[in-house]
Structure 1
Amino acid sequence: MPVISSKGKAMPESPIRKLAPFAEKAVKEGKHIFHLNIGQPDIKTPIEAMKAVREHNLDVLAYSHSAGFESFRNKLAGYYAKHDITISSEDILITTGGSEALIFTMGSITDPGDEIIVPEPFYANYYSFSTQSTVTVVPVISKIENGFALPPIQEFEKLITPKTKAILICNPGNPTGYLYSKEEIKDLAALAIKYDLFLISDEVYREFVYDDSEHYSILQERSLKDHAIVVDSVSKRYSMCGARIGCLVSKNKDVMQTAMKFAQARLSPPTLAQIASEAALEAPESYYKETVAKYKERRDTLVESLKSIPGIQVATPRGAFYCIVELPIKDADDFAKWLLDEFHVNNETVMLAPASGFYSSPNQGLNQVRIAYVLNRRDLKKAVNILKLGLEKYMDKKSFVPTEEKISL
């Protein structure tokens, strides 16, 4: 019988989607699930984007340029200029989601066996993309105790080897919600220059920063001209996850020319989705402000509710719309399955993303979950209450030992 590749066997399951069979079973049993496991916003997509798709006058749904519409790239350059980032349309390559941007990046800058240093916990698909690209992820563990702050720069430096090609960060972070300070970005920039590494920054949550914080992009560091690569996307910013439109941004001409070869091989990004994404850039400033205000309210509601549960530890996120929660249990995977399979409150339950899948280091995050606060405040409160009641029952269940077992011990 033909065998599956080693690469295929090494591909990890998604911690966000791997419990889908349990959720499907729960729905068939008539349960309502509050989805805290996936970052699917419920905020409406800008009307400008939807209108552009409805009213297009195309007669043929044709290929676009492999780099994406020039008009779209020009508008994106204007968008970045509003954020104190000076780039041209030639520094932008439209991709099929931020995922493809990262795959193109890894393909352009690494060879099999090369290494990329990544602070963990990190977005689970980084590990999938690195496996696909035969790249080794070298983790630097950040801790919930200090809010998942950037580990000391010395921790990065001692991991650098001749095989190290890049440092990859997510800013603000998925799954932690951590927002890197300007000083931290400058420290990483200095390290990248010292060792002639690429600094890759996933900035798809740029708008979602709270508490009067400001996002500082690696593209604002002029010294990083040849070292900086940014991955971006419309998915979260405009609540357009299904459009699958992202972009790769870099002033390094060699990187862009190489990435273009990958882009040509996949022909072009989707045409209708580009039309929608270009139109979304016409959304008024109020769209961003109202959206960010809603997520801040949700964050505050979630964190306050979680902190009322005994034994829980949560790092308050300053960006994105996720947080890591440490639970007073040993096995978050088992707990998440149990919530879907065996537990409900008035036929309602919650779906969580076990956090071990956001680590590449073994035995890390086993008692943690990632929660996405993409529900309205009323549903968040309800979901946290179900989580609280579920924890109480689960812990009672796990601590119960039948009399016969007690006697035999």
Structure 2
Amino acid sequence: MLEVSQRGHAMPLSPYRRLTPFADAAKQRGVQVHHLNIGQPDIETPPVMLAAVQQANIRVLEYSPTAGYPSYRRALARYYQQVGISVTPDDILVTAGGSEAIFFALMSCLNPGDELIIPEPFYGAYTAFAVATDVRIVPVTSHLADGFAPPLIEEFERRITPRTKAVLLCTPNNPTGYVYSRAELEQLKDLCVRHSLYLLSDEAYREFCYDGDYVSAMHLSGADDHIVILDTISKRYSACGARIGAFVTKNKALQQTAFKFAQMRVSPPGLAQVLAEAASELPDTYFDHTKAEYQARRDLMVSRLRAMPGVECPVPGGAFYVMARLPVDDCDTFCQWLLEEFSYHGQTVMLSPASGFYATKGLGKQEVRMAYVLNCEALGLALTCLEQALLVYPGREVPVPEAAFDQDR
């Protein structure tokens, strides 16, 4: 009898794509679905980057070098140097998106059965990468009431065992928007040095810090061999479909090991590197407008959510996500109900249930992640749908005024 693998059985569905069939069915019924479930910005990809591909004088689209085109790695090194990260092109391995950088990190730093400490809630795909690489996630829980600040360093230290090999963090954080301070990063760095652990730092959202300065793990001193930056252009330039990322470390042995895994997939996408390299032509002020736009969206989302009875959410300091507690019995059920049974003036909203962002079973049941990736007008419509849905959802936890029932189902 044919059977799929145990690894395949264990592989989770994406917490932000799991409900896509229900969204597709809603659209087939003529319902407009506002997507707040996934970090796909509506910000325009810089035309100069698209033009570089359109105007490329290429007769044969060959394999690129395994580590990426030298010209792009030089351009990327200059970019990092501009944000205070002192690396050379040889420290950079170009990857097929940030996802491949995460995969290379787990494959290169941990053995099957080893343990990886991650503050939760965390980026949902980390669970899938852990399953694929046979790595065990050891969560350290942060809480909405504390603004999802990381727990005390002693909580991290208590979870270290002989099988612990690395700590993985994301700053600015997906899904919480929390931005790690220099002091918090210094503590984690010291912990990793003290216990001979790798510090894997997912920094996909570094350009989008709203209430303070961005600090990279590579801004810290005395831990070069321990630190790996996992990066991507997806969010930085609103170029998610390019699938270009980077694995960055000064640890030569680790870089060489990741290179061998990179050879397995031969090369990163060639045309996408042409697109990414053209970002070097953007003015220094490029991020000013984008950052201001995201901050306006954040402020709109937080103010609207906090005005809804029973909803709780901290103010995220970066990235473009909000984690909120909703006054409902179960957010997995609620988010599916939004797509299957609810509409308001022919519209509904798609959210990501937060249970998929936790490793600890039972957590996140009343939380959702929302991405403020739509323009303010569309975002306002989406939040109105949510507001109306919370008034009529059968599993709601707050009293509802009688006038709330004038919606179309």
Same fold (TM over 0.5): yes
Partner of 2:316: 317
Output one character per residue of 1:301-333: Cα deviation in whole Å (capped at 9) or x when no partner. 000000000100101100000010100112101
TM-score by length of 2: 0.96
CA contact (8 A) 2:329 2:395 kept: no
CA distance in 2, matches of 1:330, 1:170: 29
1:81-92 alignment runs, 5 A limit: 81-92=81-92
CA contact (8 A) 1:11 1:131 kept: yes
- Letter of the structure 1 residue corresponding to residue 149 of structure 2: A
Partner of 1:111: 111
CA contact (8 A) 1:218 1:224 kept: no
Partner of 1:275: 274
Q: 1:171 to 1:396 in 2, by over 3 A?
A: closer
In the alignment, does 2:99 pair up with 1:99? Answer: yes
Partner of 1:145: 145
- Letter of the structure 1 residue corresponding to residue 220 of structure 2: E
In the alignment, does 2:305 pair up with 1:298? Answer: no
CA distance in 2, matches of 1:218, 1:398: 42
CA contact (8 A) 1:72 1:274 kept: yes
In the alignment, does 2:36 pair up with 1:36? Answer: yes
- Letter of the structure 2 residue corresponding to residue 202 of structure 1: D
CA distance in 2, matches of 1:25, 1:71: 45
SS at 1:196's partner residue?
coil
Output one character per residue of 1:235-272: Cα deviation in whole Å (capped at 9) or x when no partner. 00000000000000000001100000001110000100
TM-score by length of 1: 0.96
Partner of 1:217: 216
Output one character per residue of 1:327-374: Cα deviation in whole Å (capped at 9) or x when no partner. 011210110111111111111000000000000110000110000000
Question: 5+ residue gaps in structure 1?
Answer: 401-409
Partner of 1:357: 356
Partner of 1:407: none
1:226 deviates by 0.5
CA distance in 2, matches of 1:291, 1:194: 39
In the alignment, does 2:102 pair up with 1:127? Answer: no
- Letter of the structure 1 residue corresponding to residue 144 of structure 2: I
Question: 5+ residue gaps in structure 2?
Answer: 400-409
1:190 deviates by 0.5
- Letter of the structure 1 residue corresponding to residue 163 of structure 2: K
Partner of 2:177: 177
1:399 deviates by 9.5
CA contact (8 A) 2:339 2:349 kept: yes
Partner of 1:346: 345
CA distance in 1, matches of 2:73, 2:363: 40
SS at 1:366's partner residue?
coil
In the alignment, does 2:378 pair up with 1:379? Answer: yes
Give aligned-pair identity as a percent: 49
Partner of 1:200: 200
1:396 deviates by 6.7
SS at 1:33's partner residue?
strand
1:139 deviates by 0.1
Q: 1:74 to 1:90 in 2, by over 3 A?
A: same
SS at 1:190's partner residue?
helix
- Letter of the structure 2 residue corresponding to residue 128 of structure 1: A
Output one character per residue of 1:114-141: Cα deviation in whole Å (capped at 9) or x when no partner. 0000000000000100110000000000
In the alignment, does 2:56 pair up with 1:56? Answer: yes
Partner of 1:405: none
SS at 2:222's partner residue?
helix
Partner of 1:230: 229
CA distance in 1, matches of 2:398, 2:72: 58
CA distance in 2, matches of 1:38, 1:92: 28
1:87 deviates by 0.6
CA distance in 2, matches of 1:58, 1:181: 45
SS at 2:167's partner residue?
strand
CA distance in 2, matches of 1:6, 1:380: 41
CA distance in 2, matches of 1:281, 1:357: 36
Output one character per residue of 1:119-173: Cα deviation in whole Å (capped at 9) or x when no partner. 0000000010011000000000000001000110000000000100000000000
1:395 deviates by 3.9
CA contact (8 A) 1:116 1:136 kept: yes
Partner of 1:332: 331
1:286 deviates by 2.4
Partner of 1:367: 366
CA distance in 1, matches of 2:348, 2:34: 6
CA-based RMSD = 1.2
How many residues are treated as equivalent by the alignment? 399
Output one character per residue of 1:267-297: Cα deviation in whole Å (capped at 9) or x when no partner. 0001000000111232112221100000000
Output one character per residue of 1:204-227: Cα deviation in whole Å (capped at 9) or x when no partner. 10000002x111111111211100
Q: 1:162 to 1:293 in 2, by over 3 A?
A: same
